[in-house]
Chain A
């Protein structure tokens, strides 16, 4: 067991298998190889970017050299210099030929999109999506040919270094042994390659295995957490024995978790599938909050039918993250194996370079800017997953299972002590209260002691309420103590009842929407936003007087057709009728405000009278 204690051995023991989607272009590389193909730049506010170290001259030592370019300076790497057009054309041609010659789809290099995200979501989301895509023209973005150029550059990197690397870190904290695996991808081509949210140079992803350490030094994996976009907290982690955590057994009989990586985004998922990811539009959040408030009032306060989850998804841009796992697999027992590299607080490039690991596109939404390294966020502050790996996955409140019985006993012992002290205090105050009670009985009616009598009564009231609070705490602590004792008796580290109780919003692969005439629905979803915009322009130019009516008619028609495709026609009709009922109710309130007030007062008067008469009769 001794050799298990070295970080390298621990990393090897639990290293994951990553399954990619067909068509994935970029796989984890060694940072030193990547650096060799990059230049280093600094961007100061309101100035053009300045080249610090040209491509070919950058090393890890050079990267971490102390630099100071003042407040607001952003250091960043640049992988893609102006691309070689001939090489780019050659690459694109090769890719096209490969795609065309693999119509049967058995090549792990060729991506075939399934039913697109547009057909999976509602009309409003698609309209927002169209506006989001349009905003890319105004925001900073990674140029269109960069992904192809990055793929060419990546091929060169592979020629220099064909290893698939991860950067592993082993941390001991609160009784846990935290094993982190960081993966660095030269490029994220989610937008240009897989119809996703963004493209950016450099991409860091992370997986963590949480182990308990036994007395003999062996490690038992208990939890595993995968980084996925901006998610954090309890929802990220799964218990090791959760059926959702797929595992591969190596030749030594050791289990390794399986990750399904999102195509282009490299986000990590527990199960293979196509995940619908929503991008929240922050500028629309006030509208979303109002809608959520109305829906919450409608469902929770008024008790009308509606979804329990009242969060509004209307103003979110939907994207599909394809994590099919039908492409390349890297890891133990696969055709491609990992090369581990240990990273810790002494690793120079990780700790001393706070800049971005790719192009700074000056995107205010930040989606197109490269990320910082494993230790830092884009603004130079330390990532929570680095300084608090337990809290990042919501595990800071849980001890390793082997420590649970002792900790519960300790807590029970604390509670018993607390109960004893409460009981003593209650006894003391009860006697004190009785004394005061006797005193007031004696003082009653004695005119010369009236003020003393009132002071004692006030003291009695205060003491009585204090005693009441102490008794409440005693009762609550007794109940908690019993529950804890029962928990200790019945505790089993792998009790399936608690396996998934911490998960609030599990991120599951989206199911195929039950579409009628799916191919037609797909085409309709793809074209209707554009068609409607063209129709608006035509109406505005040729028949402006019918613009509002025409627009309402078009939207109504589209909604009807779409609801029909989705088999949600009656949901639409109900929403429509409810909306009209609200408008009608407002009209009635507007027209008959005083009559309504009078009627309500009259009804209240009748009700009160009736209740009182009933009381007299009974």
Chain B
């Protein structure tokens, strides 16, 4: 029986592994997504959780605010901070950053699909999530993070 699983290989010596361009793109996308979330968190106008009209319009124009209708401002800021941290860690090719990123994108896409079903879609956020998941699944990206699928039989 084939058992696929993720294996963490021993970390490469610093400087021995060149960062693929796709990782840089991935980190850039992630940073962009997190900064957008941060901006929304910072400009959250009312403590009761409602948006100003201007930002409500902007919400649908800017990338990923997938969590906005589900959670509080503090949580958004926390997620945004975490996102920035992950983006930096992605640049540093830390295996945990890959895991954290895929988990965050999974949750984000789930929230995005739920919002779409509830007729409150955030298409830019979904597009960003799709691109990030595709990048995270690239073979060279997984190899760069020393996270690979081992096919065993």
Where the two chains meet, the residues of A that have a C-beta atom closer than 8 Å to any C-beta of B are: 120-121, 125, 276, 278, 303-309, 311, 313, 316, 318, 505, 508, 510-511, 513, 566-568, 570-571, 573-574, 576-578, 580-581, 583-585, 587-588, 591-592
Contact = CB atoms under 8 A, between A and B. Distances in A.
B102 A584 contact: no
A304 B4 CA distance: 15
A304 B99 CA distance: 17
Nearest to A121: B1
Nearest to B101: A577
Contact of A567 (B5, B113, B129): B5
Nearest to A276: B1
User: Which 7 residue pairs of A and B lie closest in terms of their CB atoms, listed nearest first?
Assistant: A577-B106, A307-B151, A580-B109, A581-B133, A305-B142, A584-B126, A276-B1
Contact of A580 (B113, B137, B151): B113
Contacts of A305: 137-139, 141-142, 148-149
Contacts of B6: 568, 570-571, 574
B149 A581 contact: no
B133 A578 contact: yes
B2 A304 contact: no
Nearest to A563: B5
24 contacts: A120-B1, A304-B137, A305-B138, A305-B142, A306-B149, A307-B4, A313-B1, A510-B1, A511-B152, A567-B5, A571-B5, A574-B137, A577-B102, A577-B103, A577-B106, A577-B133, A580-B109, A580-B113, A581-B134, A585-B130, A587-B116, A588-B127, A588-B130, A591-B123
Interface in B98-115: 99, 102-103, 105-106, 109-110, 112-113
A295 to B, nearest CB: 11
A581 B152 CA distance: 26
A121 B152 CA distance: 12
Contacts of A581: 105, 109, 129-130, 133-134
A513 B102 CA distance: 25
A577 B153 contact: no
B4 A571 contact: yes
Contacts of B109: 577, 580-581, 583-584
Interface residues of B, number: 36
A576 B139 contact: no
B139 A307 contact: no
A571 B1 contact: no
Given A305-B139, A584-B126, A584-B130, A566 B5 contact: yes
Contacts of A304: 134, 137-139
B71 interface: no
B22 to A, nearest CB: 11
Nearest to B95: A570
Contacts of B141: 305
Nearest to B117: A587
A168 B138 CA distance: 55
A573 B130 CA distance: 15
Nearest to A592: B123
Contacts of B103: 570, 573, 577
Contact of B2 (A309, A585, A592): A309
Contacts of A570: 6, 99, 102-103, 147
A262 B147 CA distance: 37
A158 to B, nearest CB: 37
Interface in B1-40: 1-6
Contact of B138 (A303, A316, A566): A303
Interface of B: 1-6, 99, 102-103, 105-106, 109-110, 112-113, 116, 121, 123, 126-127, 129-130, 133-134, 136-139, 141-142, 147-149, 151-153
B149 A307 contact: yes
A566 B1 CA distance: 14
Nearest to B151: A307
Contacts of B112: 584
Contacts of B134: 304, 581
Contacts of A276: 1
Contacts of B151: 307-309
A603 B107 CA distance: 31
Nearest to B137: A304
Contacts of B137: 304-305, 574, 578
A239 B147 CA distance: 37
Contacts of B129: 580-581, 584
Contacts of B102: 570, 573-574, 577
Contacts of A311: 2
Contacts of A318: 1
Q: Which of B6, B116, B121, B136 has the most CB of A within 10 A?
A: B6
Contacts of B99: 570, 573
B1 A580 contact: no
A278 B2 CA distance: 10
A488 B151 CA distance: 37
Contacts of B123: 588, 591-592
Contacts of B133: 577-578, 580-581
A508 B153 contact: yes
Given A577-B105, A577-B133, A588-B123, A571 B149 contact: yes
Contacts of A576: 106
Contacts of A278: 1
Given A311-B2, A578-B137, 8 more contacts: A309-B153, A513-B3, A571-B149, A577-B105, A583-B109, A585-B130, A588-B126, A592-B123
Q: Which of B2, B110, B127 has the most CB of A within 10 A?
A: B2
Contacts of A585: 130
Nearest to A585: B130
A580 B141 CA distance: 20
Contact of A303 (B116, B139, B149): B139
Nearest to A303: B139
Given A305-B137, A568-B6, A584 B113 contact: yes
Contacts of A574: 6, 102, 106, 136-137
A303 B139 CA distance: 7
Contacts of B126: 584, 587-588
